[in-house]
Amino acid sequence: MTQVGVTLLIVVGARILRLGFDMVAGGAAPFALIYPAIMLATLFARAFAGALTATIMILYIWYFLYPLERSFKFVNSAGAFSVGIVIVTTVMTIAIAELFRRTAHHATQERDREIAERDLFLAEFDHRMKNNFAIVAGLLDLQKRRAREPATAAALETAQMRVDSIARAHRHLYRGTGQPGTVEIRDYLTDLCAALAESLFLQGGITLSCDSDHAAVPRDRAVSIGLVVNELVTNAAKHAFPGRDLGSISVTLRNRTEGGWRVTVADDGVGMPKDAALPEKGNGLGSRLVEAFARQAGGTLSTESDDTGTRVVMRLEA
C-alpha cells in the first residue's frame, strides 16, 4: 500500500508539472518527466513503485499524447521504436536506482551496526572505568577511616576528591552527547560542583554556585580544568570563611571572543593573608598542584585577593 501510495503521489505530481510545461511548450518531449519520476519512486519505495510509475506514465502518454491522441496506434515504425526505447531505458533506470537504493541501505545498516558496536564497547569501557575509579576511591576512603592523624585523614579525603573529579570527567566523556574525545564542560562542571558541595558539607549560609557556557572541551583539558576547580573550591571552603556562617563560592566558565575559555573561582571570604602564598607563587602542595594542573590544561593563572574575598582566574587558549 505504501508503494502504491508513493506511485500515485509521484504520478499526480508529474502530471501537474507536465501541465505547467505544456503551457510554455505544448507537447514537447512527452516522455521527459518519466525518468525523474521513476527514480524518485524507486529510491523512496523500491523497484515495484518505480515499475508501477513507469507503466502508468508510459501508457498514459502513449494513449493520450504520443503519437496519436486517444490511440495506441503508431503512424510509422519510428513511433514504435521510440516507445520501445523509452521502455528499455526506464527498465535500465529502475535497475540502476534499485541497485543504488540497496547499496545505500546496506551501507546504512553497516553504519548502524558499527555505531551499535561502538556504543556497546564504550558502555563496557565506561563500566570498567567506573569500577576502577570506585575501587581507588574505596581504598582511599578505607585508609582515611583508619588514619589516626587528622592531617592524614584530610590528605586522603582531598586525594579521594581528586579521584572523583577525574572519574566524573570520564563519565561525561563516554555519555556520547558531544564530539568524540570531548567533554561537555557545562554539564561536567555542574556535576562536579554539586559533588563538591555535598562532600565539603556546604550547607546553610555557605553556598557554591556554578555557571558555565556550553563548550566541547578535549578530555585531557577538561580533566585538568576539573582538578583546578576542585583544588580552588576545596581551598576556599576550608580557609575563606573562618568563624563565619555566611558566604558564597562561585565557579564560572566563559567562552572567550578570541578563542579559548576563562575559568573563574571566586569567594567573598576574608581574603588571603598578606604573607600567604598565592597560587602562582608555587609554595605549598595545594598551590603547586593548582599551578601544575593549570599548565597541564594549557592555561595561565592570575589571583586577586583582599578583605572582600579571593578571585582566581585561569585563561585557556583554544
Averaged confidence pLDDT in the chain:
84
Determine the Cα–Cα distance for residues 256 and 218; give it in Å rounded to an integer: 16
The answer to whether the peptide bond before residue 67 is cis (omega within 30 degrees of 0) is: yes
Per-residue pLDDT, 178: 55
Tens-place pLDDT, residues 286-297? 788 899 989 999
Which residue has better confidence, 258 or 133?
258
Contacts of 159 (CB under 8 A, 6+ apart): 140
Tens-place pLDDT, residues 181-218? 788 899 989 988 888 888 776 656 788 999 999 999 88
261 and 222 Cβ atoms separated by less than 8 Å? no
Please say if the pLDDT value at position 233 is more than 50.
yes
pTM: 0.58
Per-residue pLDDT, 182: 85
Per-residue pLDDT, 177: 54
User: 274-291 in b/e burial notation, b at 16+ Cβ within 10 A?
Assistant: eeeebbeeeeeebbebbb
What's the pLDDT band for 96 if we cut at 50, 70, 90? very high
Q: Which three cell numbers stand for residue 86?
A: 523509452
Start-to-end Cα distance in the chain: 55
What's the pLDDT band for 312 if we cut at 50, 70, 90? very high
Q: SS in 3 state form for the chain?
A: CHHHHHHHHHHHHHHHHHHHHHHHCCCCCCCCCHHHHHHHHHHHHHHHHHHHHHHHHHHHHHHHCCCCCCCCCCCCHHHHHHHHHHHHHHHHHHHHHHHHHHHHHHHHHHHHHHHHHHHHHHHHHHHHHHHHHHHHHHHHHHHHHHCCCHHHHHHHHHHHHHHHHHHHHHHHHCCCCCCCCEEEHHHHHHHHHHHHHHHCCCCCCEEEEEEECCCEEEHHHHHHHHHHHHHHHHHHHHHCCCCCCCEEEEEEEEECCCCCEEEEEEECCCCCCCCCCCHHHCCCHHHHHHHHHHHHHCEEEEEEEECCEEEEEEEECC
206 and 241 Cβ atoms separated by less than 8 Å? yes
Radius of gyration of the chain (CA): 35
What's the pLDDT band for 282 if we cut at 50, 70, 90? very low
Which residue has better confidence, 166 or 235?
235
Tens-place pLDDT, residues 299-310? 999 999 988 899
What's the pLDDT band for 223 if we cut at 50, 70, 90? confident
239 and 289 Cβ atoms separated by less than 8 Å? no
Q: Which three cell numbers stand for residue 133?
A: 575509579
Determine the Cα–Cα distance for residues 268 and 256; give it in Å rounded to an integer: 25
Q: What is the mean pLDDT of residues 246-275?
A: 89
Tens-place pLDDT, residues 50-83? 999 999 998 888 887 777 777 778 777 777 888 8
Q: What is the mean pLDDT of residues 246-257?
A: 93
Q: Calculate the alpha carbon distances from 256 to 42, 183, 232, 312, 317 in Å.
A: 50, 18, 21, 16, 9
Q: Which domains does the chain have, with CATH numbers?
A: 2-110 (no CATH), 180-316 (3.30.565.10)
Which residue has better confidence, 34 or 177?
34
Q: What share of the chain has pLDDT > 70, as a percent?
A: 91
Determine the Cα–Cα distance for residues 273 and 305; give it in Å rounded to an integer: 9
